[in-house]
Structure 1
Amino acid sequence: MAESAVATAAGGESSRSPRRRVVTAVLGVVLLLAGGIFLALGYDQHKVGTEVMAPSFDGDHTALVDTFSAGGSGVRRGDVVVIRGGWPGTPAGHLFTLRVIGLGGDKVSHASGSGVSVNGKALTEPYAHGDDNTFGAYDITVPEGRVFLLGDSRSIAVDSRTYLTADSGTLPVSHIQGRVAGTAWPLWKLADDPGVEARFPTHMIASAVTVLGAALLIGAAWPRIRKAAASVREKLPRRGTKESW
Structure 2
Amino acid sequence: MDGMRRVMVAAWLVGLVGVALAATSLVSLREGYKLVSVRGESMRPTYDIGDSVLVERIGADEARRGDVVLYEAPDRYRGADVVQRVIGVGGDRVVCCVGAAGTGAERIVRNGKPLVEPYVRDGVGDGLRQPYDVLVPPGRLFLLGDHRMNARDSRAFVSDHGGTVPAGAVVGRVTGDYAVPVLLALLLLLGLALLLGAALIAIGARTVRRRPSVLTRWWPEHL
- Give TM-score, length-normalised by structure 2: 0.65
> Residue 58 of structure 2 contacts residue 173 of structure 2 at CA under 8 Å; is this kept in 1?
no
Q: Deviations over 1:120-155 (max 9, x none)?
A: 334343432232231224432212222100112222
1:32 aligned counterpart, secondary structure: helix
The code of the aligned residue for 1:81 comes to: V
Once superposed, what is the RMSD of the aligned Cα atoms?
Answer: 3.7
User: How far does residue 221 in structure 1 lie from its aligned partner after superposition?
Assistant: 7.6
User: Could you say if the C-alpha distance between residues 57 and 216 of structure 1 is closer, same or farther in structure 2, counting changes exceeding 3 Å?
Assistant: farther
1:111 and 2:111 are equivalent in the alignment? no
> Residue 63 of structure 2 contacts residue 167 of structure 2 at CA under 8 Å; is this kept in 1?
no
User: Could you say if the C-alpha distance between residues 123 and 207 of structure 1 is closer, same or farther in structure 2, counting changes exceeding 3 Å?
Assistant: farther
1:163 and 2:142 are equivalent in the alignment? no
Partner of 2:133: 139
Structure 1 gap segments, 5+ residues each: 1-15, 183-190, 194-200, 225-245
CA distance in 1, matches of 2:157, 2:194: 53
Partner of 1:238: none
> Residue 111 of structure 1 contacts residue 138 of structure 1 at CA under 8 Å; is this kept in 2?
no
Q: How does 1:205-224 map to 2 (within 5 A)?
A: 205-214=183-192
CA distance in 1, matches of 2:106, 2:197: 58
User: Could you say if the C-alpha distance between residues 20 and 153 of structure 1 is closer, same or farther in structure 2, counting changes exceeding 3 Å?
Assistant: farther
1:135 aligned counterpart, secondary structure: coil
1:132 aligned counterpart, secondary structure: coil
CA distance in 2, matches of 1:219, 1:55: 47
Seq. identity, %: 34
> Residue 135 of structure 1 contacts residue 162 of structure 1 at CA under 8 Å; is this kept in 2?
no
Partner of 2:144: 150
**Which of 68, 77, 80 lines up with 2:68 in the alignment?**
80
CA distance in 1, matches of 2:20, 2:74: 42
CA distance in 2, matches of 1:94, 1:166: 19
Q: How does 1:96-107 map to 2 (within 5 A)?
A: 96-107=82-93
Structure 2 gap segments, 5+ residues each: 1-5, 100-104, 203-223
User: How far does residue 73 in structure 1 lie from its aligned partner after superposition?
Assistant: 3.3
User: How far does residue 179 in structure 1 lie from its aligned partner after superposition?
Assistant: 1.3
The code of the aligned residue for 2:117 comes to: E
> Residue 135 of structure 1 contacts residue 161 of structure 1 at CA under 8 Å; is this kept in 2?
no
2:126 aligned counterpart, secondary structure: helix
CA distance in 2, matches of 1:58, 1:20: 51
CA distance in 2, matches of 1:127, 1:192: 18
1:99 aligned counterpart, secondary structure: strand
User: How far does residue 46 in structure 1 lie from its aligned partner after superposition?
Assistant: 3.9
> Residue 162 of structure 1 contacts residue 169 of structure 1 at CA under 8 Å; is this kept in 2?
yes
* Structure index of larger Rg: 2
CA distance in 1, matches of 2:189, 2:46: 25
Q: Deviations over 1:41-88 (max 9, x none)?
A: 34445443112123443321344444452xx2322122222223377x
Q: How does 1:178-197 map to 2 (within 5 A)?
A: 178-182=171-175, 191-192=176-177
User: Could you say if the C-alpha distance between residues 218 and 181 of structure 1 is closer, same or farther in structure 2, counting changes exceeding 3 Å?
Assistant: farther
Partner of 1:49: 39
User: Could you say if the C-alpha distance between residues 135 and 208 of structure 1 is closer, same or farther in structure 2, counting changes exceeding 3 Å?
Assistant: farther
How many pairs are equivalent? 193
User: Could you say if the C-alpha distance between residues 73 and 140 of structure 1 is closer, same or farther in structure 2, counting changes exceeding 3 Å?
Assistant: closer
CA distance in 1, matches of 2:193, 2:107: 49
CA distance in 1, matches of 2:118, 2:193: 38
